[in-house]
Structure 1
């Protein structure tokens, strides 16, 4: 009884009600609504007119229009707001300023005191709700195929009426659902019955709730610029919103709201196409979903087709906003055009871009023990694994798809070898050792494993998973075993070895293939023109941005022994030359460059990232190396046309670095602090331009201070895309390519016109590589909203100008103004700032930056800004703290940054940037090299390094003597001491065979079987012979074969005792 009285009292309080009310069951709602009501844990907002819940803390930082919020207001008038309550009952037209950050499902004059309608709200991490939200976001935004919600907020307006209404007037029911994974966020508006639009205070009818200023639906960022309204907002048509949709479900609208603008999900009339995933493997087989056209599911959908890279493929309509196609096989990588037609290909109304990659690590067949399998040994069988959920099938087929060049060597054909039929889709299997399923045996072993759902009949449109393309020694073993079984009647035992005769016969075939390849290559060998020479040491390679780690041999990994036995680490040019070629360089454990015969690298006709990406490189560089060096004894042929660079031409690039509070180290090594505010020329040249934006620093208390730091750059090389990278304090960075913002969340490295951009948000790094005659590289890192970055500038790229200097090797003229006046670097900081730095400020017309809504070139500068040129005066404790953080009193830039900002992380980053720059400069010092020494024919060498101080020792095989230096040292003059080394053969003649080598003393001459070359056999007297002992003859009879046509004198000479 007491509980009932208390509940009645609370209800009577009306607007003061702020506690939960228990009800017996969840409230009835349309099926597309998320469950709400106190039975599912909701709280009830205070019963009021024009009020709110007050500030509601939430357990995440919710992203909304590029800002994060840790609390919100559920307002009675149909709005969720951030920063402040919304009591305004008549909606204004968007956009609105004054920090009115609003999400308005139905901003109208709701009055919950007029009837029993209420407003419910809760945040939840319920697993069922999260799964549902994730699924529905992925349906609305097909690009977010891997989106997984971690938090949901649900606010529901249940059967609410308007101000001026009563318990019998029209009612509205609607819902706002906020969804996020912490980085991306989405909003759903769900509508049930909508019967009124306006309260009487806004000019509406007291009996119908219509007329006046109707409700507003949409989003407002609060800056007076960014907003989005749903069609019909603030018009009488908004009463029909429950009959509209952007996602094919009447009464639902879905938006993405974390970015700088609010984006619509679902279909559109604008001709844009959303594609998910946004990238996939060039080998095809992936299901790709597209969203753009609004599909009529009640009419014939068989005419819906997709065209990707000019290949038309059928599509399947999933619902009113989505269709799906299977990615065909395409022998290229990079960005390709995708378009959708709803009339069988007559008209393509919606288009977008898709990125083809060589392989997708999330959609792959893993070869668990590939590197353990050796040629000709069958004890080890290949075990593979895959993701079972990728196939909606209980059984799968497994094929080996072999890739070959067509005769034109510009296109590729495939051969498919069936390995296993109808394998249970368990995610793992060990392959057989034979090829009993294959009627025709194919010896080639460059290809990829393909797993596909078992189907009846052949089809080029099948969902597939692929392994990487590789030289498959495991397949060669299968081929050999099956060949033996078919030809010799062998058992094909899993533990047997290939018979020597069979393996020898197949090796002859491989040798012939190597020779045929060699004949073609020697007539047109690849050129190393425009390729940088190999760094002489691994340390040089580490700091040379033109090179990257080669995944085929990295840090002593086991795979080094496959083609680079003796190497500990390899690098390759990060970019292909204009001809598509590449350079590979390998190093021993000490870090010295290796020649080919000791595991060194080679010139590459097809860089792994160019041509038919990866595949061309494997076909024309890797597979021939297997044929010539692994599968036959013709490695000299490969080495001749794929030589190793000896690093003699190596010229390291010069490096400029900026960091912290706009400190600069120029290309020539001059160090100074830049104090400008605004946008400036960092570097200008005929072929490359770089601009930077400097913003005012703030200290740890959030107060602006008298220093600046770099917060954005814009860069462009001739003929390439314009790249802009700028700080985003919520996500880290924003990257714009030719003015269009790009997303690097799923695909971290992307190719554009003559530029490659990599972004790793987790590590806070961006790398930009500009392709062309000169390879410029910018490596960026950010912390606390501040960029530090390096520019790698090839020495042959000419002499630029601007804030980063001129790369002429002279630090005294680095501070040169646009008019050519050189400012003394020892000038006072204020003079440097005014007479040099400010001279390089860009104009609005020169600016390469693109600006968001409301931003402009002039908005980033302040003519009244006066930088602080000297370190601020602080107490001794703060000075000691700065010295400790920076590692000593000499770290002046680091100490300055700490004293200005109070941020230890910024100071440490400054100190680290200086260390990295100094290490890079030190590693770039030219080393003396003498070039590689080859092993002598019929001999060996011990040692391989061509660097000054290195020693190489030589020895000869049995039957040969060493002629020349047995040991040579690389001198500081860049030459090897001593003389060339040869291994010269002595010949012991057999009665029925050609002469064969035999070891003789180093002081002896050579014995030859014929008279065409001078030898000990042809001397005139015995005295001459005995002065240079030779090996003892086994019998005069055998010697007479060599001397049968000679004079008696010569015969007697040959019969002398040989020791």
Structure 2
């Protein structure tokens, strides 16, 4: 029996977290584990919490109802299993048997994590990783060292194995399959002391075809290549160090042939470039469009990563979701001035991916396997053409950067403070109802975003006659339901997944139909497959909410955040279609808000305490009378402090005065400023597209946005025909005439 089934049999609205409130035997079915997550390569030992078994129990774990792993009971009576090798990321359901697999009465969830998003402690480390991946090319020889935490294993000796990854079958067909394969053991019965240094020798010929793979460390008593056992994996890498003598004798020549073969094969595959999302025009836009783009962990200005594969760039982002048909990925890189870095200008330019680095649901099959498909189709080929040989033009011809001429920024609407609303079309109003309300409802992708408000407190603890958001719940189609709410201390955020409190031991979580990112600044961002993004922050004892919707949502929204249609006059619309004037009184806006209360049937919220059950049975409290206006007393010392803090920000002034708290007022001001900055950054930007330099000449300038200039000069012995300066105009076209460099002495500039 699954947790969800058990909940359905209970008489109260509960989850596995508090199932004992009305189902005394819930622990028989719902289990928690530690750790809760690990590398999708598997090998992590986890313990079942809260349940004790006897030593005669025959433990088995079944993942996704298809992968079976033998477990064990330790000396304390705790059952253990080991996470298996998976080809997908996200929350993987598993079941536990204690009778050798005859029945599986216990269930839980394992979080499978992308290789780029696990901590170093969860992997063995390749010391000087660059040397490992260039070994055999000029200037890279000698010894290699792998390191690990010896406390990972209780055994005295370990084996270090070499594994290779392959995808075989007809591309883009049902026969296309992915597999990790054990190749050979690098060393047997080696002391578990945390470090191993060796001089590589070429792999056996039958294994040298595997040019991308990983090391795995396992206890020595296990057989070679044993599946789904306690182990440590290294980072996936280009295995130059194990390639044959033909590579070592002439690495550049060997790589050139590989590059040409890849180029020929990739050209024969379907063209994915036309269906990937266009890049944002500026670095600011790329960082602001959080529903569709997320920082590339290999080139992230926020973490100080070095952008090894993109020299000249300071930050790259990746499209969160793969393209609709081919599950391809988009990458966009930017320089220190905030302009795109294009492969037409630099080897450091951004390159789209046939295999999205983060994979694409439902994963498992090529080219959707997280991380690994990307390595085969987009990374190892980069080594062939650009790193192991000087033939990068082959690679860039099939992986050109996308410019931003077709990029359409998302529209942003926000809710914050007491609470104030700024709609997608820029209208604003204040609604201080107490209850649960629909912020956004859209038939497009069946997106629903709901907000719950609660009364604010004065600094002395007494309740005020104003409210603010304490929780926001959201879902798209049949995705997981995400709820972000203030914790009991009202200073931190708590996340619920399908009405179960979620332990955030990762900053990034792959969930069903939604990605979740936990930022370092007390913020949570949900990214849905439609491209909708919801940013939630805890500020001033309330929650602030930024909702970003892509252009496809135009004329598809309703709710308190208005109709997204570039018409501010119809933003204040009741459910029945009646439109409220933009000059309406606060009392009328109160009626508008009450009209958008959620219903019992439509609510996405969690009611996991008697307080919530009692207080939100009525979705809008008609007895709560808010403060609609407040008088400023110039003789009040608080007014002077408020003036200094808020200036002309009316939202800040109102919230500070009604709560008598500069802390609340400041939080409102910050949230309002954040919204205004987003709106400013996400204004459309005109791009004229890449400008090709003339043959036998060169250009100065790599910005192709409106008002940017590109200067053209010719090589010695050639004269310029056409314009020497081209300017990107407001109509998206370059000024002047096509520039050419003609052999001769005299310049003919137009």
TM-score range (shorter-chain normalised) is 0.7 to 0.9
Which residue in the other structure is 2:257 paired with?
Answer: 509
Match of 1:525 among 258, 271, 276: 271
CA RMSD of aligned residues (A): 3.4
Tell me if the contact between 2:697 and 2:714 (Cα under 8 Å) persists in the aligned partners: yes
Cα deviation code 1:418-459 (max 9, x no counterpart): 444554433344x43422675766264422232333346423
Distance verdict in 2 for CA 1:226–1:415, change over 3 Å: closer
Match of 2:178 among 403, 406, 411: 411
Q: Does 1:286 align with 2:35?
A: no
Once residues 422 and 572 of structure 2 are traced to their aligned partners in structure 1, the CA distance between those partners, rounded to angstroms, is 12
What's the CA shift for 1:655? 0.5
Once residues 556 and 698 of structure 1 are traced to their aligned partners in structure 2, the CA distance between those partners, rounded to angstroms, is 35
Distance verdict in 2 for CA 1:622–1:437, change over 3 Å: closer
How many residues are paired up? 702
Tell me if the contact between 2:630 and 2:657 (Cα under 8 Å) persists in the aligned partners: yes
Match of 1:609 among 358, 361, 368: 358
Listed as ranges, the gaps of 5+ residues in structure 1 are 1-224, 228-255, 488-497, 985-999, 1005-1059
Which residue in the other structure is 2:280 paired with?
Answer: 535
Distance verdict in 2 for CA 1:390–1:665, change over 3 Å: same
Once residues 468 and 509 of structure 1 are traced to their aligned partners in structure 2, the CA distance between those partners, rounded to angstroms, is 26
Once residues 296 and 724 of structure 1 are traced to their aligned partners in structure 2, the CA distance between those partners, rounded to angstroms, is 38
Tell me if the contact between 2:259 and 2:381 (Cα under 8 Å) persists in the aligned partners: no
Which residue in the other structure is 2:310 paired with?
Answer: 564
Cα deviation code 1:565-594 (max 9, x no counterpart): 322221111233334222111112211112
Once residues 776 and 907 of structure 1 are traced to their aligned partners in structure 2, the CA distance between those partners, rounded to angstroms, is 29
TM-score (norm 2): 0.85
Once residues 465 and 314 of structure 2 are traced to their aligned partners in structure 1, the CA distance between those partners, rounded to angstroms, is 49
Which residue in the other structure is 2:661 paired with?
Answer: 903
Q: Does 1:712 align with 2:471?
A: yes
Tell me if the contact between 1:872 and 1:900 (Cα under 8 Å) persists in the aligned partners: no
Once residues 393 and 959 of structure 1 are traced to their aligned partners in structure 2, the CA distance between those partners, rounded to angstroms, is 73
What's the CA shift for 1:699? 0.8
Which residue in the other structure is 1:884 paired with?
Answer: 644
Distance verdict in 2 for CA 1:691–1:866, change over 3 Å: same
Once residues 780 and 548 of structure 1 are traced to their aligned partners in structure 2, the CA distance between those partners, rounded to angstroms, is 16
Cα deviation code 1:918-942 (max 9, x no counterpart): 1111111222211012345676544
> Which secondary structure does the structure 2 equivalent of 1:709 belong to?
strand
Once residues 290 and 263 of structure 1 are traced to their aligned partners in structure 2, the CA distance between those partners, rounded to angstroms, is 21
Q: Does 1:789 align with 2:545?
A: yes
Cα deviation code 1:169-193 (max 9, x no counterpart): xxxxxxxxxxxxxxxxxxxxxxxxx
Distance verdict in 2 for CA 1:1003–1:654, change over 3 Å: same
> Which secondary structure does the structure 1 equivalent of 2:109 belong to?
strand
Distance verdict in 2 for CA 1:517–1:439, change over 3 Å: closer
Distance verdict in 2 for CA 1:504–1:850, change over 3 Å: closer
Distance verdict in 2 for CA 1:871–1:400, change over 3 Å: farther
Once residues 267 and 469 of structure 1 are traced to their aligned partners in structure 2, the CA distance between those partners, rounded to angstroms, is 44
Distance verdict in 2 for CA 1:561–1:711, change over 3 Å: closer
Which residue in the other structure is 2:404 paired with?
Answer: 647
Tell me if the contact between 2:597 and 2:620 (Cα under 8 Å) persists in the aligned partners: no
For the pair shown, the structure with the greater C-alpha radius of gyration is: 1
Distance verdict in 2 for CA 1:959–1:562, change over 3 Å: farther
> Which secondary structure does the structure 2 equivalent of 1:403 belong to?
strand
What's the CA shift for 1:507? 2.6
Once residues 344 and 627 of structure 1 are traced to their aligned partners in structure 2, the CA distance between those partners, rounded to angstroms, is 48
Q: Does 1:724 align with 2:724?
A: no
Q: How does 1:229-248 map to 2 (within 5 A)?
A: none
Distance verdict in 2 for CA 1:575–1:443, change over 3 Å: same
Tell me if the contact between 2:413 and 2:548 (Cα under 8 Å) persists in the aligned partners: yes
Match of 1:548 among 268, 282, 294: 294
Tell me if the contact between 1:608 and 1:617 (Cα under 8 Å) persists in the aligned partners: yes
Once residues 226 and 426 of structure 1 are traced to their aligned partners in structure 2, the CA distance between those partners, rounded to angstroms, is 52
Q: How does 1:623-1022 map to 2 (within 5 A)?
A: 623-686=380-443, 687-730=446-489, 732-738=492-498, 740-759=499-518, 763-771=521-529, 774-799=530-555, 800-834=557-591, 836-854=592-610, 855=613, 857-858=616-617, 861-874=620-633, 875-886=635-646, 888=647, 890-936=648-694, 940-954=698-712, 967-981=725-739, 1001=744
What's the CA shift for 1:786? 1.0
Once residues 621 and 690 of structure 2 are traced to their aligned partners in structure 1, the CA distance between those partners, rounded to angstroms, is 59
TM-score (norm 1): 0.61
Match of 1:446 among 212, 217, 228: 212
Once residues 489 and 656 of structure 2 are traced to their aligned partners in structure 1, the CA distance between those partners, rounded to angstroms, is 23
Distance verdict in 2 for CA 1:293–1:672, change over 3 Å: closer
Distance verdict in 2 for CA 1:461–1:924, change over 3 Å: closer
Tell me if the contact between 1:282 and 1:330 (Cα under 8 Å) persists in the aligned partners: yes
Which residue in the other structure is 1:356 paired with?
Answer: 112
Which residue in the other structure is 1:313 paired with?
Answer: 69
Q: How does 1:91-240 map to 2 (within 5 A)?
A: none
Cα deviation code 1:849-885 (max 9, x no counterpart): 2322430533564322211111255543101111223
Distance verdict in 2 for CA 1:509–1:453, change over 3 Å: farther
Once residues 665 and 269 of structure 1 are traced to their aligned partners in structure 2, the CA distance between those partners, rounded to angstroms, is 46
In terms of mean alpha carbon deviation, does 852-861 or 590-599 score higher? Answer: 852-861
Which residue in the other structure is 2:362 paired with?
Answer: none
Which residue in the other structure is 1:378 paired with?
Answer: 140
Tell me if the contact between 1:371 and 1:559 (Cα under 8 Å) persists in the aligned partners: no
Distance verdict in 2 for CA 1:970–1:421, change over 3 Å: farther
> Which secondary structure does the structure 2 equivalent of 1:575 belong to?
coil
What's the CA shift for 1:898? 1.7
Once residues 564 and 748 of structure 1 are traced to their aligned partners in structure 2, the CA distance between those partners, rounded to angstroms, is 24
Which residue in the other structure is 1:3 paired with?
Answer: none
Once residues 853 and 350 of structure 1 are traced to their aligned partners in structure 2, the CA distance between those partners, rounded to angstroms, is 25
> Which secondary structure does the structure 2 equivalent of 1:769 belong to?
strand
Tell me if the contact between 2:468 and 2:542 (Cα under 8 Å) persists in the aligned partners: yes
What's the CA shift for 1:640? 3.6
Listed as ranges, the gaps of 5+ residues in structure 2 are 1-11, 171-175, 360-367
> Which secondary structure does the structure 2 equivalent of 1:858 belong to?
coil
Q: How does 1:377-396 map to 2 (within 5 A)?
A: 377-378=139-140, 382-396=144-158
Tell me if the contact between 1:557 and 1:568 (Cα under 8 Å) persists in the aligned partners: no
Which residue in the other structure is 1:369 paired with?
Answer: 128
Tell me if the contact between 1:418 and 1:438 (Cα under 8 Å) persists in the aligned partners: no
Cα deviation code 1:714-763 (max 9, x no counterpart): 2222232333333222483443333x313223234333321223345x74
Once residues 235 and 686 of structure 2 are traced to their aligned partners in structure 1, the CA distance between those partners, rounded to angstroms, is 40
Cα deviation code 1:523-571 (max 9, x no counterpart): x121543x43211110111211121111222239997564323222211
Once residues 715 and 73 of structure 2 are traced to their aligned partners in structure 1, the CA distance between those partners, rounded to angstroms, is 72
Q: How does 1:8-47 map to 2 (within 5 A)?
A: none
Tell me if the contact between 1:816 and 1:822 (Cα under 8 Å) persists in the aligned partners: yes
> Which secondary structure does the structure 2 equivalent of 1:913 belong to?
helix
Once residues 257 and 716 of structure 2 are traced to their aligned partners in structure 1, the CA distance between those partners, rounded to angstroms, is 30
Once residues 390 and 698 of structure 1 are traced to their aligned partners in structure 2, the CA distance between those partners, rounded to angstroms, is 49
Tell me if the contact between 2:438 and 2:450 (Cα under 8 Å) persists in the aligned partners: yes
